[in-house]
């Protein structure tokens, strides 16, 4: 337990150093020496925890955003989860933009996709169970891919300020989609499979 706590502390310290340096120079110009110098550790310590700077960036985003989102029951706490994500993007807009400028849109999209596909899949599984239907694994996989791609694209547009919507509109639209669109799509597909539709209104209060 002490070892795990010490490891976590060192990794978080490296992440904080990366954040500080990203305010001073482009992500592509940051070196491991920059990070370990700011953090007060040696290169061996860095490589013990991370393969490279991209691995550190990915871990930082996962710990600060994805892992927190995973802790929400998105069917019951949709608004809280969506608000958290939007807050995180607003707070870390500069960090995300710096990473984007260095690794490009496609890599950033892949970055978000790999983290959120499991979150979205869990939402879909829970919605299916709550509706009491069976939409089929193939359709659920398609649905997870569809919504994850949409989420990844929208997050990128948000921190790059490419969306012509204000914060409140974005939050309300995402909540509406999670509350209604996914359950309704699952129910419609289940009805198609059984040939006996069983309408399911929004299951989230």
Q: How far is CA 150 from CA 53, 139, 163, in A?
A: 27, 17, 13
- Look up residue 38 and give its two tokens: 């700011």
- pLDDT at residue 13 tops 90: yes
Q: Is residue 205 part of a domain?
A: no
Q: Are residues 170 and 185 in the same domain?
A: yes
Is-contact 23 94, C-beta < 8 A? yes
Q: For residue 75, count other CB atoms closer than 10 A to its CB.
A: 20
User: In which residue are the tokens 């829970």 written?
Assistant: 126
What does DSSP assign to residue 180? I
- Residues 6, 57, single domain; the answer is no
Q: What is the CATH number of the domain that holds 106?
A: 1.10.357
Q: Which percentage of the chain shows pLDDT scores above 70? A: 87
pLDDT tops 50 at residue 189: yes
In a domain, 200, yes or no: no
Q: How far is CA 75 from CA 64, 102, 119, 141, in A?
A: 21, 35, 12, 18
pLDDT, position 110: 80
What is residue 204's predicted lDDT score, i.e. its pLDDT?
42
Percent of the chain exceeding pLDDT 90 equals: 29
Please compute the mean of the pLDDT values over residues 108-135 and round it to a whole number: 85
Three-class SS state of 160: coil
Q: Are 95 and 182 in a shared domain?
A: yes
Nearest C-alpha neighbor of 152 from the set 91, 61, 77 = 61
Q: Domain check: are 58 and 40 in the same one?
A: no
Chain mean position to CA 139:
22
In this prediction, residues 6-35 reach a mean pLDDT of 92
Does residue 202 lie within any of the structural domains?
Answer: no
204 by DSSP, 3-state: which? coil
Q: Containing domain of residue 2, as a range?
A: 1-50
Mean per-residue pLDDT, 84-103: 82
Domain count, the chain: 2
Task: Tell whether 203 is covered by a domain.
Answer: no
Confidence band for 71, pLDDT divided at 50, 70 and 90: low
Q: Are 50 and 14 in contact (CB under 8 A)?
A: yes
Of 73 and 7, which is predicted with more confidence?
Answer: 7
109 and 147 assigned to the same domain: yes
């Amino acid at each position: 337990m002490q070892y795990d706590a010490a490891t976590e502390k060192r990794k978080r310290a490296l992440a904080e150093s990366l954040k500080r340096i990203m305010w001073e120079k482009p992500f592509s110009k940051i070196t491991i020496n920059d990070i370990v110098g700011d953090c007060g550790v040696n290169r061996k310590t860095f490589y013990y925890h991370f393969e490279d700077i991209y691995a550190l960036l990915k871990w930082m985003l996962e710990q600060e955003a994805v892992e927190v989102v995973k802790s929400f029951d998105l069917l019951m706490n949709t608004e809280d989860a969506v608000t958290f994500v939007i807050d995180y993007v607003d707070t870390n807009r500069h960090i995300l933009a710096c990473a984007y400028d260095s690794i490009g849109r496609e890599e950033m999209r892949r970055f978000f996709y790999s983290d959120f596909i499991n979150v979205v899949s869990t939402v879909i599984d829970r919605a299916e169970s709550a509706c009491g239907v069976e939409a089929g694994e193939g359709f659920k996989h398609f649905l997870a891919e569809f919504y994850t791609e949409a989420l990844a694209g929208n997050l990128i547009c948000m921190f790059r300020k490419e969306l012509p919507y204000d914060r409140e509109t974005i939050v309300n639209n995402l909540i509406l989609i999670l509350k209604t669109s996914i359950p309704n799509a699952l129910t419609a597909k289940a009805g198609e499979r059984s040939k006996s539709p069983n309408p399911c209104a929004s299951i989230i209060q």
